[in-house]
Chain A
Amino acid sequence: MPKTIIEKLWDAHVVSEKEGAPALIYIDLHLVHEVTSPQAFAGLRARGLKVRRPDLTFATTDHSTPTTPKNLPIIDPIAAAQVKQMETNAAEFGIPLYGFHSDKQGIVHVIGPENGLTQPGMTVVCGDSHTATHGAFGALAFGIGTSEVEMVLATQCLPQRKSKTFEVRVDGTLRPGVAAKDIILALCAKVGIGGGTGSVFEYRGSAISALSMEERMTVCNMSIEAGARAGLVAPDDATFEYLAGRKYSPEGADWDAAVARWKTLPTDDGATYDQSVTIDASTLEPMITFGTNPGMGMAISGAVPDPANVADPIERESLRKALQYMALTPGKPLAGQAIDVVFVGSCTNSRISDLRAAASVLKGRKVNSKVRMMVVPGSQPIKRQAEAEGLDRIFRDAGAEWREAGCSMCIAMNGDQLTPGQYSVSTSNRNFEGRQGKGGRTFLASPQTAAASAIMGQVTDVRTLLG
């Protein structure tokens, strides 16, 4: 029977199946960070267990680490203790760590692909819901809770129920000013924040094939924002080209064998999905969110929806509450809304191509005097690459802050945050109440839209600035 890549990945990882119990599946790569792992390591210690496969486990520190210069200490004592604990745990259990002072340190979902750790055909887990990022390589990658982190550390396995398959077909050519981020924001708006619950997305179609690996990561990254625990793209030549020569990529004969295996992964002709949705890339506009979840998004030329037009009472109340929090007027366009902060960064949009995209808009222009703009590269190697290309100069000359790698203002637990009432255009993935700082208000958008908005001091359609 023809199979989807999702089913092929599942079948290849089943360790055991017993009547009445979920299947036990094997995990090829376990990424670990300081925030969701300490209680799991404590659990191992309490039971006297070891990490079964330290050679399939990799750690970094990113969430609670400050993005101020590295010669400064971590001021927050609780965050410092957590970072220290990660170092202790990695040393004690023999896990490789790109720690706070490593020249390879970065956001967990950025460093996996960057070092060739993430490869097609793998199962990848991390105690973080944006693990779907690694799906860009044709891996089955999903976020897990801390109890599951402990299970994977101890056994390299997880009891799992099979997910449903969900085809996201995106055909057509993106127009100028429209980015990969706009594809995924459009999907979130279309199916809603719970639309993919219980499913794994496969992104396919001509618009997906045309994306670079970094753009595919942006799309897969936000699968969870449409409710799906995982989202992936079948590997192709772009995937192999990206992986060739990376630190942990196979070499020589191993590389040839791996590529041969990877080529068997794509969905067979005639395979069917439990559900499908299509998006026409050629009609997409730059997207922006107006509400307090990533599904509350619209084309940047649109107007804020009116709760009065929503029939369902709980839905109406949820929208009313969201607009009240955002202090937005129903029926008004969002373009022109004054902003205070622009954040370019996060595991969604902090890779070199994202920084280049933002810099291309900013070049020769200035950040509006009322706006604080922060640019936070996803890893130390990306930071160095950007500096080699002179991107940091473009950002600094425009008046933006050029910071050290980390999650930064995506999660506001490391000193980088909005103050109550501030508006931000952010390239990150979540606009939940308080996500970027208590009382802060987030508009999610692409790096291009973020840069354009920084220049104008208000939510701006980047196409108005394109020459």
Chain B
Amino acid sequence: MIKFTPFESHVVPMSIDNIDTDQIIPARFLKTISKDGLGDQLFCDWRYDAAGTPKPDFILNQDWAKQCQVLVAGDNFGCGSSREHAPWALTQYGFRAVVSTSFADIFKSNALKNSLVPVVVDSATHQKLMALPRDAKVALDLAAQTLRLPDGTVVTFPVDAFSKYLLLEGVDELGYILQQDEAIKAYEAGRASTLNTLAA
């Protein structure tokens, strides 16, 4: 994993609440056995017409949006299915952070495992971000847990301390669990054997 570093970016506003993972990446693209090639299908059914041509008025099809690394979306972003294809598609498009007033649990967990930072802000800050002019930039610093707005205001956001450590140091979570083999073995030794339902 690559270490997560501070960055500045324009923002893409999407003022819709409860954007679900079926919108972020429709199920028909889940037949893949790889993680790659999902960026073009991000928000597919909002982004392309029936013939597969990009809709010019959809925000992600505009040239300026393609450079943006921050998506600002309505409340409860990422609700619905547990598909990790959602953060894969978002990061492959180029996003490194999503800002909202809240996130669905599974999406938040999946995002953090893919270097996509879910940034929760209060509704006043959220409204400001939604109204930013296109050329305005925000600055995100994960170590400081801050988002700096173009008017100079700095807001802090919560991040799980452990996830933050993994992201900043580029540490792999599975590697961390594998190191706890002793504890796992000790737990298994005391576990009721009747739970081993599938033992042949």
A197 touches B82 (CB 8 A): no
Segment from B90-98, B133-141, B189-197 that makes contact with A: B189-197
Q: Which residues of B approach A to under 8 Å, CB–CB?
A: 15-18, 20, 22-23, 26-28, 30-35, 45, 50, 74-76, 79-84, 102-106, 109-110, 113-114, 160-162, 165, 173-174, 176-178, 180-181, 183-184, 187-188, 191-192, 194-200
Q: Which of A28, A85, A435 contacts B27 (CB 8 A)?
A: A435
Instruction: State whether A129 and B174 are in contact (beta carbons under 8 Å apart), knowing that A28-B195, A194-B104, A432-B22 are contacts in the complex.
Output: no
Give the contacting residue for B18; candidates A26, A56, A128, A193; CB below 8 A.
Answer: A193
B30→A413 contact, CB < 8 A: yes
Residues on B with C-beta less than 8 A from A229 are 105-106
Is the CB–CB distance between B177 and A159 below 8 Å? yes
> Roughly how many angstroms separate A381 CA and B84 CA in the complex, as a whole number?
31
Chain B's closest residue to A128 (CB) is B82
Inter-subunit contact B45/A434 (CB<8 Å):
yes
Residues of B within 8 A of A38 (CB): 32-34
Q: Which of B18, B26, B35, B109 contacts A194 (CB 8 A)?
A: B18
The interface centre, meaning the residue of B27, B174, B178, B196 with most chain A CB atoms within 10 A of its CB, is B27
Q: Are A119 and B82 touching (Cβ within 8 A)?
A: no
- Residue count of chain A within 8 Å CB distance of chain B: 82
A98 to B3, CA, bound (A): 41
Q: Decide: A193 and B79 in contact? CB cutoff 8 A.
A: yes
A-B contact pairs, 21 of them (CB 8 A): A15-B180, A35-B31, A35-B83, A76-B31, A81-B33, A82-B32, A117-B198, A122-B195, A143-B106, A144-B109, A145-B82, A155-B174, A159-B162, A193-B18, A194-B79, A197-B102, A198-B105, A257-B194, A317-B16, A420-B50, A433-B22
A258 / chain B contacts, CB cutoff of 8 Å = 194
| Pair B197/A116 contact, Cβ less than 8 Å | yes
Distance in Å from the Cβ of B21 to the closest Cβ of chain A? 8
A380 to B: closest C-beta gap in Å: 19
Partner of A156, one of B45, B83, B184: B184
Q: How far is the CA of A420 from the CA of B196 in the complex (A)?
A: 47
With both beta carbons as reference points, the residue of chain A lying nearest to B33 in the complex is identified as A38
How far does the alpha carbon of A42 sit from the alpha carbon of B32 in the complex, in Å?
A: 12
Query: Is A151 an interface residue, CB under 8 A from the partner?
Result: yes
